[in-house]
Every structure is written in structure tokens, then in C-alpha cells.
Amino acid sequence: VLGAGGGTCSYREAEDADLLVMWGSNAREAHPIFFHHVLKALRRGARMYAVDPRRTTSAQWADAWLGIHVGSDISLANAIGREIIAAGLVHDEFVNRATTGFDTYAASVEPYSLERAEQDTGVPASLIRQLAHDYARADRAQICWTLGITEHHNATDNVFALINLSLLTGHVGRYGSGLVPLRGQNNVQGGGDMGAIPNKLPGFQDVESDLTARARYEAAYGVPLPAKHGWHLSQMFEAMETGEMTACYIIGENPVRSEADTARASGLLAGLEHLVVQDMFLTGTAELAHVVLPATATWCEAEGTVTSSERRVQRVRKALEPPPGARDDIEIINEIARRLGADWGSPSAEEIWDELRSLSPMHAGMSYRRLEERGGIQWPCYDEEHPGEMFLHARLWAEDKAQRGAPAPFTPVVQEDPLDELSEEYPVRLTTGRRLDSFNTGVQSGQYATPIRRPETLNLSPEDVARLGFAEGEVVRVSSRRGSLEAPVHVDETLRAGLAFMTLHFPEQVATNVLTLDAWDPKSGTAEFKATAIRVDKLDAPALAGEGQHAEVTT
């Protein structure tokens, strides 16, 4: 956010915040570690709002829950912004000194009255007003979000809408105030840090625009680097479709199960001329591969670092010998390079890390010794004297204009409804999410026993179950415009009529992503997992005309 690919706050700041807005985040189940910090804050007296279509177990801790319609986030955020402006609660000094584009923003949110937002979101205007006032008046307030914000076709706009609110109220760059996107895996942040994104070199240095950085890499490696952004995942699948991309090397990812519109994804992967998969497990994707490279478990069988959501780089140490045949990722990559004719030697994890430090200024001060001594360091850390930064963007509050640097821009955004529209044929909104006891497609968590794990179900509100004449546990047909599957019904009181919920934890049992739309956000490349239009029928009901243009994937 705000030009840096990480949350602005540290976990412990959440404990000292006065107000937490959990927006599109069921952290209680999906980010239990972060939620421990939230609970400490609540016990200390902090208030919490939850914005989520479902009243999740996180939302049940909140002082107030705003049960918005799926995909109406921008309308809500803009209405909150408008109300803050109208009520005179804008942090004028911060806005004047540290931001640009306020007037345009103010004009852009003008159409989003509380009444309109109530209509768009379903949430009472009075509650929206209350959130606006409480957020603006709080001394320390944070907005925390997860995939409820980002797994939409307009994910980036959603994030901008939230950033705008923090700029309006000065809730950024100060201790305890900030913007906190929560990462779903222990090292998603680290992947981004290390340049595993199509447009950035390690350390979030832009491939196209940061010429100095690119020159630095070219000098270090002695080869010219491509000067253009690469493809992100959704673009890669499109390129497979058009035949532009014919080979793929996948490391530690299981797109056959995790991509939206599974049938299409596995078809495309299967059609590649050459597919290499490097993974700890023989995943669904690996089964399609021409070559499978068994890798070690990075958290216990290899040396290295990980980065947490609060930008803290920590050491990972090898504790176990890998099973026979499995090899360290570094070793595999170097071996491939050698077979391709480039001998990179056999560098240790620390040597590679030190090379990174010489190329990525924000990691420069993080020697293994310091990481060890300090129990991890939060980037940026520019030299070996630098302690790292607990929170980002403190510069925006500097008295001195030069220190303050470039102001943070407001980015006006407009409400766009989910692409997969509800209709008479597909009247129910399906949203997807996670459960406490499982992790993503279950590759890593599925083999561990837990007493609370239930198999996949289609969760429906008591009202819909009654209306459709289903019974708890009855297997029904769930259809979207893309495919259909069968799943048992579960009555879920946290849902309202017209809203359904599934996870993606049990792809072998129910391939939820058969249903989802692979429409993606052009700015971030994230697919719209959170908003699918479905219909639910008894198994003996006749199939809908026109269906069947996609293979029916039921398991």
C-alpha cells in the first residue's frame, strides 16, 4: 500500500490501537496469529468493527458488524469518506501537507450518500455513519483486510478506497494507526519481497521505471535483463489459451486446485508442451507435469528467511534431513542452471542472501547475524546500524517538506458490481473463504487430523434451506454459469437469505473453483473468487438448458 508492497503496521501496534476495522477479513479463522493480537487489543478496551457479508467468527467479536452485499465495498468506503468530509472530521493538516488530490476525491465521493450506500450494501445508514465517525475520531485506528477485499475483479480499487479513508483521517504513518493487509501464507510477503511478482525486482524495485535498480542488477549478473513487466498468473493462463506460452515451471504452487474455473485451468496446463513442477508433494498440478522435481520442506529442511505480514524478515533453520530424493530449492535451481550451461556454483543460503542485500537497498542492513540477534528485522533496513521500521510512512508527518517527500495521492474509485451478475437463473450469491482447521487447497493441512474439521459443504442460510426444501446434509447440485458440482447442504446461521458459502479446502471432494469466475483484476491479477452467481437444485431436478457446455466436474 502507498507505494510499498506491505502493511504499514506491526502486530504489536494492533494491540495498542483504539479502533480496528476488520474489512473483508475473517482473521479469527484465516489469520489466527494476527487475531491473537486483536484479542489483546479488545481485552485492553479497543473497539472493533467488522465489514463482511458473513457474520464470521471474527465478526462475532466485533462491537458492530456491517453485513454488506458481496462486492459493495467501494460504495461503503466512499460513503464513509463522504460522511467524514461532511461532518468536518477530515484531518485537515495531514491532508494539506501530506496528500494530493483531495478535491478530486471529495467530488468523486459526493454521489455516495449514506442512503445510497444503505441501498448498495444493505447496511443501515446509521451504522455506516457510526463507523465513519468512530474511525475518524479514534486516536489510533487501523483498517485490516484480507481476501474479502482483494479477491474481486476490482481488487486494487477496493484497496484504494480504503487507503483514501486512512489519508482522509491521518490514520497512517503513526504508531498504532495504519493499513494492514494480512497475508495468507507464512511467506507470501517474502515472495513479493524477493521479486516473485511480474513487475518488480527484489525489494519492490520496478522493472520498467527504476532504471538505476535494473542497471545495478545487470552489472551484478553481467547480463541484460528484460525491460518489460512479465505476465501475472491470470495473464499466463490467457497466454496459454492463445498459444503464446507453451512451457511452464511451477514452484510450490497448485493452480489446478487454487485457480478460479478449475476445468479451464487444468485443461490449459495439461495442454502445455512442457510442464515442470517443483513441490514437496505430488499435487494435482504435479500429476499433470512432464517433470516433477521433489523439493524439501522450506520451513524445516532448508536454510533461509521468511517475511511475515508485518514485514519482519526472520531466519529459517534446517532442523531435519529431507527424505531421500528431495532436494533443496536452491540446489535444484542451480543444477538446472548448470545443465543449461551457466555455472552458478553451490552458494549457501546466506551467500545468496548477502547478494540480495547488495542489490535491494531495503534489505541491505539485514545480515544473518543481525537477524539472529534481533529476532528478525522489519524492512526497510538500509544499513547495519538501521533498526528497521516498526511502521511505514512516518515521513508523511515530518515537519520538514524535504523529509516529507512525495505526498500520498488520493485515488478516486467508483463502485462496480461483481461481474458474475445475479439473475433469475442464478439467484444466489456464492462467496468463498477459509476455515480455521484447513489451509487453502488442503495440500499442507489435509493430512493432519483435527476434531473440528468437517467435509466440504454448501453453506446456506436457514431461510434458503427452508425455501428450497433441503435438509441438513442433503446432497444438492450447485451450478454457476461455468460448471456445476454436487455438495451436501449445511445450515449456517451466519448467512442471510441469498448468500451461500463454500471453502476451497477439499478439492478432491468438491472442486469449488469449478464454479468461480476467472475474471481478474487488471491491476493486481487476482481473480474474483468472492462473488459467484449460483443456483442450487435438488439432485433430481432437470438440468438447466444450455448447461453442459462445460464438462461437469463432480467428484
Partner 1 sequence: VDLRLGVPGPATAEERAAVATVLGPPETGWDGGQRRAQDGHAAFGGHAARARRHLLLPALHAVQDRVGWISPGALDHICARLTVPPAEAYGVASFYALLRTSPSPRTVVHVCDDLACRVNGADQVCEQMERRFGAEGTQSRANGAGVTWQRSPCLGQCDRGSAALVQRAGADPARIAVAPVDAGQITPVSAAGPAPAPMVPQVTDEPLTGVSRDGGSPAGGSPDGGPAAAGGQLRLLRRVAKVDPASLGSYRAAGGYQLLRRAVAAGPQGVIREIKDANLLGRGGAAFPTAVKWEAVATNPVRPHYVVCNADESEPGTFKDRVLMEADPYALIEALTIMGFACGAEQGYLYIRGEYPLAEERLRHAAAQARALGFLGQDVMGEGFAFDIEIRRGAGAYIAGEETALINSIEGKRAEPRNKPPFPAQSGLFGKPTAINNVETLLCVLEILRIGGPAFAGIGTPRSTGTRLFCLSGCVERPGLYEHDFGVTLRQVIEAAGGVRGGRPVRAVLLGGAAGSFVGPEALDTPLTFEALRETGATLGSGVVLVLDDTVDVDGLLQRIARFFRDESCGQCVPCRVGTIRQEELLARVARGAPLGSAGQELALLRDIAAVARDASICGLGQTAVGAALSAAALGLITGTGSGNGSGGGATTGTGEHGSGPAGPGSGGGNGKEPA
What is the contact surface with partner 1 in residues (CB under 8 A)?
28-29, 42, 45, 47-48, 55, 57, 59-68, 121-124, 127, 436, 452, 461-463, 493, 495-497, 499
Q: Quickly list DSSP for 492-533.
A: -TTS-TTEEEEESS-TTT--GGGTS---B-TTT--B-TT-EE
Q: How far apart are CA 379 and CA 10, in angstroms?
A: 11
Q: How far apart are CA 22 and CA 475, in angstroms?
A: 34
Q: In terms of CB distance, is 29 or 328 closer to partner 1?
A: 29
| Segments in 277-322 forming alpha helices (H) | 284-288
Q: Quickly list DSSP for 440-476.
A: TTSTTTTTS--TT-----EEE-HHHHHHHT--TT-EE
Q: In terms of CB distance, is 119 or 235 closer to partner 1?
A: 119
Q: In terms of CB distance, is 238 or 474 closer to partner 1?
A: 474
CB of 428: closest distance to partner 1 in angstroms?
Answer: 14
Q: In terms of CB distance, is 60 or 403 closer to partner 1?
A: 60
Q: How far apart are CA 302 and CA 298, in angstroms?
A: 5
CB of 211: closest distance to partner 1 in angstroms?
Answer: 50
- The size of the chain, in residues, is 555
Q: In terms of CB distance, is 45 or 324 closer to partner 1?
A: 45
CB of 186: closest distance to partner 1 in angstroms?
Answer: 22
**Apex 168 CA angle, 164 and 170, nearest 5:** 110
CB of 60: closest distance to partner 1 in angstroms?
Answer: 5
CB of 169: closest distance to partner 1 in angstroms?
Answer: 21
In three-state form (DSSP H/G/I as H, E/B as E, the rest C), the secondary structure along 203-223 is CCEECCCCHHHHHHHHHHHCC
Which set of grid coordinates corresponds to residue 527?
Answer: 481473480
Q: Quickly list DSSP for 125-177.
A: HHHHHHHHHHHHH-SSEEEEE-HHHHSSTTHHHHHHHHHHHHHHHT-SSSTT-
Q: In terms of CB distance, is 33 or 497 closer to partner 1?
A: 497
Q: In terms of CB distance, is 337 or 497 closer to partner 1?
A: 497
Q: In terms of CB distance, is 38 or 260 closer to partner 1?
A: 38
Going across the sheet that includes 247-251, the strands are 247-251, 274-279, 291-294
Q: Which residue has the cell 517474502?
A: 190
Q: For the chain, first and last CA: distance in Å?
A: 40
Q: In terms of CB distance, is 65 or 470 closer to partner 1?
A: 65
CB of 529: closest distance to partner 1 in angstroms?
Answer: 22
What are the b/e assignments for 95-129, b being 16+ CB within 10 Å?
A: beebbebbeebbebbeebbbebbbebbebebebbb
Q: In terms of CB distance, is 64 or 332 closer to partner 1?
A: 64
Backbone angles phi, psi at 176, to 5 degrees: 90, -15
CB of 458: closest distance to partner 1 in angstroms?
Answer: 18
Largest CA distance in the chain: 72
Q: In 10 A of CB 372, how many CB atoms?
A: 12
Q: In terms of CB distance, is 62 or 95 closer to partner 1?
A: 62
Backbone angles phi, psi at 379, to 5 degrees: -70, 155
Which set of grid coordinates corresponds to residue 415?
Answer: 463502485
CB of 71: closest distance to partner 1 in angstroms?
Answer: 14
Q: Quickly list DSSP for 362-419.
A: GGTT--HHHHHHHT-EESP--STT----SSS-GGGG-SSHHHH-SPEEP--------S
CB of 67: closest distance to partner 1 in angstroms?
Answer: 4
Instruction: Calculate the alpha carbon distances from 122 to 76, 119, 127, 496 in Å.
Output: 10, 6, 11, 11
Q: How far apart are CA 146 and CA 180, in angstroms?
A: 9
Q: In terms of CB distance, is 47 or 315 closer to partner 1?
A: 47
CB of 498: closest distance to partner 1 in angstroms?
Answer: 9
CB of 311: closest distance to partner 1 in angstroms?
Answer: 29
Strands 484-491 and 475-480, how do they pair?
Answer: antiparallel
CB of 363: closest distance to partner 1 in angstroms?
Answer: 38
CB of 121: closest distance to partner 1 in angstroms?
Answer: 7
CB of 184: closest distance to partner 1 in angstroms?
Answer: 19
Backbone angles phi, psi at 312, to 5 degrees: -90, 120
Q: In terms of CB distance, is 60 or 346 closer to partner 1?
A: 60
In three-state form (DSSP H/G/I as H, E/B as E, the rest C), the secondary structure along 312-361 is EEEEECCCCCCCCCCECHHHHHHHHHHHCCCCCCCCCHHHHHHHHHHHCH
Q: In terms of CB distance, is 28 or 481 closer to partner 1?
A: 28
